[in-house]
Every structure is written in C-alpha cells, then in structure tokens.
Structure 1
C-alpha cells in the first residue's frame, strides 16, 4: 500500500491508520501529514454532527428524530412557506431526504451549498428554500427504496448543527467538546462558523487522524469508549441502519454512508464517514475494523474511488 501511495495511486494521501479489535495496529503519515496535524476532512464532519444530534436526544434536549425542524426557529419567518415544511422532521435532514429543492450534485439547485456559503445568514437561507418539484424521470419519495428520495444537501446538515445549538443553548463547538470530544480525550479540533456565527455542522471541522479513528471506534463499539457510554447504543444502531438509497452502489444511514466491499470472497458492510478530498473513516463491524484515510485531493476526479481502492485492494486483502 505504501508503494502504491508513493507511486501516485492515491495522490495527496496524508495518513492511513488502522485499528483492529480496538487497538491501533498501523499508523503512517505522508505528504506533510503528521500525528499532530489537524486534517480538514470536509463533509466527514456530517457524521460527527449526527453523533451530536444523538447526544442531544440522549440528554432530552431534542425530543427525537421525529422532532419538527421549523419548530426550533419560532423567532424566524421564512419565504416559500408550504404546509409540507411544517412536518419536516430532524430525521429528514439526517437521511438527506427533505423535500427542499436542495441538491449539491446539481449546480442549478436553489439549495446548492456554494450559494449558501455566499449568503449573509446561512440559517435563513436554508429555512427559505423552496419545495422540490419532480420531473417525470425523477423518482418520487413514495416510489423510492425506504420511502425516501435521497438528494445530497449540505444545507440540511448545517441546519442540524443550528438545531443542536438552539437545543443545547450553546455553540456547536462547545457542545461537541462537552458531549463528544472531552469524553473521547480529543484535545484539539477546529470548528468553522457560518456568516451569522453558527457552527458548521455540514463540514469543515478539523481533527487529528487518531481522533478521527476514535469516532470510528465509538461507532464500532455501539457508543462506548473505554467502558463509558458516550452516545446511546440505540442512537448508534439508528445511525448505522439503512434509511435511504443514495446511489445504486451506496446506501445511507443518519449522515453516514454504507458501502459493500469484498473481503476474502465475502461481501462486507462498511459504514463510512466521508468527505471531499477522499477523506474517510471506514467502520467494518464484522471485521472489527476501523480504517482512517486522510487526503487533500479536494474536488478531483476519482478521489473517492482511489480511497476505496486503498481499503479494498490493500487493507482488506491483508487481513487474516
């Protein structure tokens, strides 16, 4: 694998870490990476936000995944009002299946993340989004697997961070330190903020590679870390249950992807915290494996496929 990285098979790889049975068994850094370097794994942050939503639910700060989204913003009004907005639930944002016209894979979409980044008030931008329409060739929710029409929407994940802030009555980074980072022994992180000062729950938080591995281990161990329950096992089970079909080759839980890889002739489920650049925390429950791959191959073709090949062609093939 190291030879493949050196020869350019996965350009701009900065670290690869592997934990098996709860122990760190491999750790290498490349291309300016290092043990104390804070990586910016972009949208991988979304999975951290899902953990924070679970921590807020565990504390009774959010009633549950069926809590109504717009109910958290009684002090605001919004454009494009529609009865369907009144029933938007937290779960719709966790599963990328809200009915806002929001699709980061369509540059013409009203809710495209780049439009949000340019707005003076990201929260208002999201609340104002129009409802989605369906062309004849588009799959409607009722015709989709799991009853959800998936569309990748960073704006929805950002709003989840805003909801956690309101529910916890503190900034998102402060709640993250209290609920996740402190208990996991994470002492360094960097959270970005929106134009209006809300934590960027949709992406951009920076962590050390070892600390990213801790998030993976937390998922693998059903919310426990060193004997302490950090997030409820029920929430981790809900996060790592398929709720939507993202693509023909990928499913989606609560702000986390599920892929399938070959391991010794058998298909293995791999839950994946994923971000631009080819950044990943892979969690394979059947193999008791966590693999962290950090890269800075931002916005480049094949960045994700290259990281998948590192896992499939080298890490999984090396396992006994």
Structure 2
C-alpha cells in the first residue's frame, strides 16, 4: 500500500494517530466530495432553502440525486468526456437518456452529483463560500480548494481538496449526529438519513448507499478513487481517514481502508 499519503485516526473524538507519508496538506479527495455535497444539501434543507422532494431534472428529485437513482445508465467515464468540453457541462449532462423511472434503480452517476451541485448553488449561492460559512468554518477547517467547471460552478462529483484532518472532522461530525461540543450543524435526522442504506448500491464500492455516502453493516464511509476514504465505525466510536496518491498506484493495489477493516476487532470478540 505504498500509495498511502495520510492516516488519521480519531477515537471517542480524540486524535490517537496521525501520520503523513507525502508532502503537502491538501489532498484531492476525488469522490469523497459527494459526501460533503450531501452535508451541504442537508444544511439547505434544514434552513428551508430547499426541500428533498423538489425536482432537479424532469421528475427526478433531490432525493433521487442523493441516492444515485436518477434513472440514467451512467458510466464512470462519462463525466471525463464532459470535463473535456470547453463549456456547457450542465447542458451535456442534462441531455442524458433516461433508462429507468427515477427512484427505482441505483447507478453510480458522477454527472448527477455535479448537476445537483449546480442546482443547489442556484438556491444557496456559491458552494465553496456556503461550505466555508456553514460547515467548514464552524469545524475549524480553514483550508479548502474546490475545482470549478467552465461556468464557475463547484464540481459536485469530485476534486474538492481538503486535508486528512479536515475529513476526520467531517466524519466525526456525522458520528456525533451532526453536533459539535458547542453547536448543532446538521439535523440529526439528516445524518441518520445520510447513513441509512436506501438502496443495495453497487460499483464502484460494491456496498449499500445512503445519501452520497456508502453504508456498511459496521458503519459508513466517504469513498474516492485512488484510496481516498473516511471510514466511520460507530460501535468503536472510530473515525479513520486514509488518503492515497494516484501517481503511485501499482497494478495490484489495494486501498488502505482494506487494512483498516482487517484490523477491526471481530464482532463479539470484545475490543
């Protein structure tokens, strides 16, 4: 697992291990961005700026976009082709053929996450600023960079850059039900919904899916390409962040999350 860049471990809200194996602090978290987007939607719902049953596209609602049940048969490479366009990303995404009724079938859809981000920004303003004011700032996260499309919209599917410590804070926020020691940031009901398995999910992580967040029998996690994971294990009050370096991926690589899972206590065996 030579591609691992960072390892941060919190237990009971306390830092018990931090190691960095690569220069720099901010990491491209790839699709862990989506879980942050889900939090921003939750903030907007809580404030009354949006509702989860509003339509984002045709008859596909915010809920459908959060659960990756928009109804489009998306391929992982589709968004790469969109990102090669000099402009018009939104129009290209909105032109996809609908294969299934919204809300009926999971299909991992990077384009849908970006379309949701654009839609949300039109209701609450620039997402990078919104995150800084409503989510990052209150958590003490003061370094963030977010890739934008040619029209200036934050890219909802990926390429938010944060430190591993910042992702640990976000994982801890969900573990604590949306509250910090001083304030409530997210509605606890939203946190429960985000970490509930609404569909059986599927590739690329091959596990169940909540609101832009992967759900497992022992917890939930944010997942991104090349070994980016924020894993939360409520039974152990544990948050583990592992980041990876795409440039060092060997052919037979495994994400560091696999090692984290291998070292968890066996259920019923005590801690």
Relative to the length of structure 1, the TM-score reads: 0.77
Q: Tell me, what secondary structure is at the counterpart of 1:229?
A: coil
CA RMSD after TM alignment: 2.1
Equivalent residue in structure 1 for 2:108, among 131, 137, 152: 152
How has the CA–CA distance of structure 1 residues 172 and 213 changed in structure 2, closer, same or farther, with 3 Å as cutoff?
A: same
Paired residue secondary structure (1:50): helix
1:101 maps to 2:58: no
Aligned 1:93-132 pairs, distance under 5 A: 93-104=65-76, 107=77, 112-119=78-85, 120-132=87-99
Contact 1:102 1:132 (8 Å CA) reproduced: no
Q: How does 1:244-259 map to 2 (within 5 A)?
A: 244-247=199-202, 249-259=206-216
TM-score scaled by structure 2?
0.91
Q: 1:59 aligns with which of 26, 47, 50?
A: 47
- Counterpart CA distance in 2 for 1:271 and 1:251 is 9
* 1:163 corresponds to: 119
**What residue number does 1:19 align with?**
10
1:270 pairs with one of 207, 219, 225: 219
Q: Distance in 2 between matches of 1:173 and 1:46?
A: 13
Structure 1 segments unaligned to the other structure (5+ residues): 1-9, 71-85, 134-139, 142-146, 261-268
Alpha-carbon spacing, 1:246–1:31, altered in 2? closer, same or farther (3 Å): same
Q: Secondary structure at the match of 1:251?
A: strand
Contact 1:42-1:205 at 8 Å conserved across structures: yes
Distance change in 2, residues 1:251/1:118 (3 Å): same
**Are 1:212 and 1:292, in contact at CA under 8 Å, matched by a contact in 2?**
yes
Contact 2:7 2:241 in 1 (8 A): yes
Q: Which of 27, 31, 55 is 1:43 aligned to?
A: 31
The structure 1 segments of at least 4 consecutive aligned residues displaced by more than 4 Å after TM superposition are 298-303
Change (3 A) 1:54 1:185: same
Give me the whole-angstrom Cα distance separating, in 2, the residues matched to 1:232 and 1:14: 32
Q: Which moved more, 1:240-249 or 1:10-19?
A: 240-249
Q: Pairwise mapping of residues 1-320 of structure 1 onto structure 2 (< 5 A)? A: 10-32=1-23, 37-63=25-51, 65-70=52-57, 86-104=58-76, 107=77, 112-119=78-85, 120-132=87-99, 148-168=104-124, 170-247=125-202, 249-260=206-217, 269-297=218-246, 303=253, 305-314=254-263, 316=265, 320=271
What secondary structure sits across from 2:68 in the alignment? coil
Check conservation: 2:93, 2:111, Cα contact below 8 A: yes
Q: Once the 2 structures are TM-superposed, how far is the Cα of residue 227 of structure 1 from its aligned partner?
A: 2.9
- Stretches of structure 2 that go unaligned for 5 or more consecutive residues are none
> Contact conserved, 1:97 with 1:150, CA < 8 A, in 2?
yes
- Cα distance in 1 for partners of 2:251, 2:116 equals 29
Give the match's secondary structure for 1:42.
Answer: coil
Count of residues paired in the alignment: 264
Indicate if the aligned counterparts of 2:73 and 2:107 stay in contact, CA closer than 8 A.
Answer: no
The Cα of 1:31 is off from its aligned counterpart by 3.1
